[in-house]
Amino acid sequence: CSSRRRRASETCLSNENIRSFISENTEVVVGGSLTPEIKLRLFTPGCRFWRERPELWPFSDPYWAIYWPGGQALSRYILDNPDVCRDGSVLDLGSGCGASSIAAKLCGAVHVVANDIDPVAAVVTKLNCELNKVEPPDCVTDDIIGSDPARFDLILLGDMFYDEKLSDSLHKWLDRCVKSHGSKVLIGDPGRAQFEGHDIRKLLHPVAQFELPESVRQENYGLTSSHVWCYHSKL
Ligand SMILES: C[S@@+](CC[C@H](N)C(=O)[O-])C[C@H]1O[C@@H](n2cnc3c(N)ncnc32)[C@H](O)[C@@H]1O
């Protein structure tokens, strides 16, 4: 399925149709992650597209259908330490299924922006908020990396360091966010090579480590734990 065809199908379907399609082709998952208190619509072996030919999938690759180990650690950390976002403004960059935004909402953040360049992720985030009975965050689908950073007290990145070029752009942009607004940055990552070997790693200090549940280990071959890091730029 070409990216042009995918984009066409995304724009032709109304948000209501995307919601129905997502509801039919995902399952509500409770438990099995580091944050069993957050319910999410995800891909499971019971879903049609788990087995179906990939070319029949009408959208871009559904990163939002997986609760990534980096996002799990980040959300767990927030739920265990609600003061990091209470009464503050939070940007969840690369929000995927929206779990970290939901965690921030549950912990009393006053303004949450879930940013993901995949418009389907925005629809799914709203569905997941309904499941968890929280007000949806502002869902933004523009690529904001590289733009003039808006002021946020806290920026969350769950499993965003999986690609070298993206990691380079994130590094530069996060540096600007910290220098211009003093934003606190928390990164969840399960020890991916692109993260461990990146220059940004030298500017981070560890704040938490979680052992991954067995089912998450099985889905993420070779990963056993996931970490939360805090970004310290030299101001
Ligand atoms: C590995 S997933 C992580 C999702 C979620 N944070 C989690 O941990 O479950 C990465 C997400 O980043 C999004 N993404 C990729 N490039 C992006 C960009 N430039 N700006 C915003 N989101 C982006 C993808 O669409 C995807 O949903």
With 0-12 / 13-18 / 19 or more C-beta atoms within 10 angstroms meaning exposed / middle / buried, residue 45 is exposed
The pLDDT of residue 12 is: 66
Q: Which CATH homologous superfamily contains domain 69-231?
A: Vaccinia Virus protein VP39 (3.40.50.150)
Per-residue pLDDT of the chain (235 residues; tens, 9 = 90+): 345 445 545 556 788 899 999 999 999 999 999 999 999 999 999 999 999 999 999 999 999 999 999 999 999 999 999 999 999 999 999 999 999 999 999 999 999 999 999 999 999 999 999 999 999 999 999 999 999 999 999 999 999 999 999 999 999 999 999 999 999 999 999 999 999 999 999 999 999 999 999 999 999 998 999 999 999 765 4
- Measure 164 CA to ligand 1 centroid, in angstroms: 14
How many angstroms separate the CA atoms of 63 and 4, rounded? 18
The pLDDT of residue 235 is: 44
Give, for ligand 1, the residue of 117, 173, 226 to mutate: max count of ligand atoms closer than 8 Å to Cβ: 117
97 lines ligand 1 (CB under 6 A): yes
Q: Which atom of ligand 1 is nearest to the CA of 100?
A: 6
The pLDDT of residue 10 is: 53
Q: Residue 42 pairs with which residues in a beta bridge? A: 27
1 lines ligand 1 (CB under 6 A): no
Domain ranges within the chain, ordered by starting residue: 3-65, 69-231
64 lines ligand 1 (CB under 6 A): yes
